[in-house]
Amino acid sequence: MKKFAREHNLKVESANPVQRTVVLSGTVSAFNDNVERMGAYVTHIRTRFPWVRMVLFSELCPLGPSHDKAEPMPGATEARLCEIAKRSGLWLIPGSMLERTPEGRLYNTSPVIDPNGAVIARYRKMFPFRPYEKDTSGGTEFCVFDVPGAGRFGVSNCYDMWFPETTRTLAAMGAEVILHPTMTDTIDRDVELAIARASSVQNQVWFFDINGVGDGGVGRSIVCDSSGNVLHQAQVGAEIIPIVVDFAQVRREREQGLRSNLGQPLKSFRDRDCDFDVYRKDSENDTL
């Protein structure tokens, strides 16, 4: 982590780079295919918000959480999602789907689809919510990708954000925005809202924590900027949330300090004098 990408994280590439993003906290069925509904939403968004360049859905939105609907990736459902992206000309992060590998392993996987309908990355959730996801394997590779003319995005998924090392690593890899679909239907949603806001300001990133509704969660999605300001907190129903990401703000605050000239947590972490033995797998700790 000490190899912090100083130049990439602090460099301002243009006068005012922005990314126009819509996030959708929509109704998810655990029992039916949701892809057609997702396509209808994207078509509506393309007409209603023609300035949008990216759409993000909630965790397991396309097919729900049933293991019976797990597919190989690439596969038939991913191909349908690619067609939606190509037809609309938008970046599409369709939440995630259950991926079944040829070896029989199960992953909770988020494809990143570009406006040409090509899958440019797939992110496997690192921290399955066990014991609920006890049969799901954890991924081992982080995912960042660049949008030309805007900036760098990182992908996280649900329980991942409870482990701050995941977001910090994405920030160290240059991510300026974290796309974080979730499927929370439990009473700890209020805790997750606090974690999302803390993650944004501690790592000086914009943080999109998007929860489903219906079978897909209790809603209450949240979007925070790189100073920890809450730009929008949704209610419990379905919402379309159009947001303009200001990358110039991210880069300025990483250089000068959050909220104009206050804390500089990324620089402070980069220049730290201490190490953390707790991260060594061979460290002895009776509480972990």
Lowest mean pLDDT segment, chosen from 20-29, 182-191, 246-255:
20-29
- The pLDDT tens digits of the residues spanning 45-56 come to 999 999 999 999
Q: Is 282 a member of any domain? A: no
Structural domain range at position 255: 18-272
Lowest mean pLDDT segment, chosen from 18-27, 39-48, 145-154, 177-186:
18-27
Q: Is 2 a member of any domain? A: no
**Total of domains in the chain:** 1
Domain of residue 114, CATH code: 3.60.110.10
pLDDT at 23 exceeding the cut of 80: no
Q: Is 277 a member of any domain? A: no
Residue 60 CA to residue 97 CA, distance in Å, equals 5
Q: Is 6 a member of any domain? A: no
Nearest to 225 by CA among 210, 246, 254: 246
Q: Is 5 a member of any domain? A: no
Q: Is 8 a member of any domain? A: no
Q: Is 27 a member of any domain? A: yes
